[in-house]
Amino acid sequence: MGVKLTILLDFLCLMVIGCGRNERMDLLYAQRCLSCHGPSGQGDGPVAASLPARVPDFRRTVEQKSTPQIRRAIAEGRGIMPAFGPALRPAEITDMVQMVRFLSREGRNISWWEKYDTLVVAHCNVPWELVLGYDEPKEKQQP
């Protein structure tokens, strides 16, 4: 039992470490978002001034929108923002939702619960059914 617990704890630690901002997320943000949203997500990218509408500041976005609303805006587009759902895999959209959250913390006082956001993301992304052994197929019922 001790070995299984140690393996599980090691796995969870790796998940938490891997849930922070990373190079893959930065690259994707630079390719898809930086030109409008800017390097810090404040809507001050090089293209933003030439757009017909104001680009949102991520600091306000996370205060006014839920995570599913942010995900939907990225996937389906909103206003002048194009839909990235056809171009990005679901995991990449999740990365962009996290980038909105990471960038929104720059230059503002964060709420106490936001300090634990990475742990929440890590917990929600763990394939618990595999870790806990719930992935076994159900027995077929005989008619």
Cα 52 from Cα 129, distance rounded (Å): 47
Contact by Cβ (8 Å): 121, 22: no
pLDDT in tens, 55-85: 999 888 888 888 889 999 999 999 999 999 9
Q: What are phi and psi of 81, to 5 degrees?
A: -80, 130
Contact by Cβ (8 Å): 32, 84: yes
Give strand pairing partners of 81. 78
pLDDT in tens, 26-63: 899 999 999 999 998 999 999 999 999 999 998 888 88
What does pTM read for this prediction?
A: 0.66
Cα 10 from Cα 18, distance rounded (Å): 12
